[in-house]
Structure 1
Amino acid sequence: MRLAILITNTDHSDFAGARPDDAVKFSRFVALARPDWSCTSFDLPRGDALPKLEDFDGFIIGGSPAFLSDDRPWIAPLLEFIRAAHADRVPLLGTCFGHQAIAAALGGRVGRNGEGWGHGLLELQMFQVPPWMKGAPKVRRLYGSHAEQVLDLPDNATVWCASEGCPIAGFFVENSIFTTQHHPEISADFMADLVDHLADYMGAEVTEKARASLIDEADNAAFAEAAAQFFEQAIRA
């Protein structure tokens, strides 16, 4: 399987530079379930052109501290790319910003989380399980850090999970779109470092709640298996 990772991360700080970048994080995430698959990354904020749809079997759109409402030159072309991929039924996996971008591109609505930040290890309530996840381990917890989220679904979308303060924490559209508001590519060490790094910005209440949540670990491997099964069934269809 040939996957393209569309990097949207605009954090080029010293904190980010001292840790694995999103190309490495998502390649490791894919390898949790399918170590023989190839991953090629395209860093959109740094000026990489979007790949051709026909050159890859599927696409992963990652997270970012950017907002969809930001005036950034790469966002509008990304939304057009999503619409073209959806029209051709090319499989898209969206995480965090990618989840929001897919929703917005297809007619959904994105806005601020009315209950404030979702930050730390977040518990998932699963609703309608996508067909390809029935043979995968259950995904009960994922790391997250977000102030915006999907408020209204695009047409034909189905919610598969919710988390505290986030009723649409993941959705799917038929067999070719699969999303999560959260970060299955983030490791336990990275999340702990991020909570410490953002402590002053987040404030004591949000930070202490996030730290307390980290007693457990995320179900990244389970989500990686679900994502792999998603791409496999989309290609077979």
Structure 2
Amino acid sequence: MQEDNTVQQNPSLNRKARVVVLKTGSTYPRLLAQFGDFDDWFLRGLSTELDITVINVEAGELPGNPEDWDGIVVTGSPAMVSDRAEWSENAGRWLATAVRSEIPVLGVCYGHQLLAHALGGEAGYHPDGRETGTHEIELLPEADSDALFRELPKTFPAQLTHRQSVLRLPEGAVLLGRNGFEPNQAFRIGPCAWGVQFHPEFTDTVMRAYLEVQAPDLTREGLDAEALIAGVKPAPDASSLLPRFSRLVMERAR
């Protein structure tokens, strides 16, 4: 009887950690038809041991109290943080509350920029234009002791596609990764909120498809679309952030 009472008094012992994916936009129609949407790609990378809910914040859906969740993931978007759309600003304020409550957060691309903006940093157009394709990420010494990054190699390839960037980190943020184009590729703020400019949810197949759709624009911008397509390769270390984040959330929720 005592064991039964213990289970009843501690229902959290049997529940899965709850993660909300804040969907901030949708991919190109061609990619949507082939591969599904942004949230689908995250669901494939996050652990099946999580209880995951997708909330479309771009459509005005609300994620409730941040403390209702054990972890938060914020997707990429074709929108621009600097436009300060009402839905985006609302999501940013909600994220700032979550960070203050020490709920684990992983913001990706738009989510990375929104997280920085919401906490007092600055997001805007990169002065040198677009970064897209497979590129190397360099981790800084601060990543050696970081809960999410510490087991990753010092350099690794990652999939990227963005025109806006984090131009200024929030006060107190710890820079974890960079490359020659983008000085703020990854950061942490507080004990468990991370932003990454690169896309751990992208496969090399998805990256290649992105470049094929972008090719006319890339050519107009003076980029070599064919070389970028030829340069796409798998990025397993970058993709490992999703299962790593999953484990971190589950461990903190115990």
The unaligned stretches of length 5 or more in structure 1 are: none
CA deviations over 1:140-181 (Å, ceiling 9, x no partner)? 121010111011110110110002310000100131211100
**Aligned-pair distance for 1:106?**
0.4
Give the TM-score normalised by structure 2: 0.83
Q: Percent identity, aligned pairs only?
A: 23
| 1:63 aligned counterpart, secondary structure | coil
CA shift digits 1:13-59 (9 cap, x unpaired) = 3442442112211111113xxx3112110112233223321321010
**For residues 11 and 47 of structure 1, do their structure 2 counterparts lie closer, same or farther at Cα, with a shift above 3 Å needed?**
farther
TM-score by length of 1: 0.88
Please tell me whether residue 163 in structure 1 is matched to residue 179 in structure 2: yes
Alignment of 1:124-163 (within 5 A): 124-127=137-140, 128-129=142-143, 130-133=145-148, 136-138=151-153, 140-163=156-179
Pair 1:16 & 2:32 matched: yes
Deviation at 1:10, TM superposition (A): 4.1
Query: Partners in 1 of 2:115 and 2:98 — Cα distance?
Result: 10
**How many pairs were matched up?**
233
After superposition, residues 195-234 of structure 1 pair within 5 angstroms as 195-203=211-219, 205-232=223-250
Q: Are 1:122 and 2:135 an aligned pair?
A: yes
Q: CA deviation at 1:9?
A: 1.4
Equivalent in the alignment of 1:29: 45
Matched residue type, 1:60: V
In 2, the alpha carbon distance for the partners of 1:60 and 1:134 equals 16
Residues 122 and 142 in structure 1, CA contact (< 8 A), matched pair in contact too: yes
For 1:227 and 1:166, locate their aligned partners in 2 and report how far apart those are by CA, in whole Å.
Answer: 23
The one of 158, 165, 180 equivalent to 2:196 is: 180
Say if 1:90 and 1:215 are closer, same or farther in 2 by CA, change over 3 A. closer
Question: Cα offset for 1:214?
Answer: 0.9
Asked if the contact 2:27/2:38 (under 8 Å) is kept, the reply is: no
Give the alignment partner of residue 207 of structure 2, picking from 177, 188, 191.
191
Call closer, same or farther: CA 1:83–1:174 in 2, change over 3 Å. Answer: closer
Counterparts of 1:194 and 1:134 in 2: how far apart (Å)?
Answer: 26
Q: Is the 8 A contact 2:82 2:123 kept in 1?
A: no
1:102 correspondence with 2:115 = yes
Contact 1:118/1:146 (<8 A) preserved? yes
- Bigger Rg, which one: 2
Distance in 2, Cα, partners of 1:210 & 1:54: 42
Pick from 44, 47, 59: which aligns with 1:46? 59
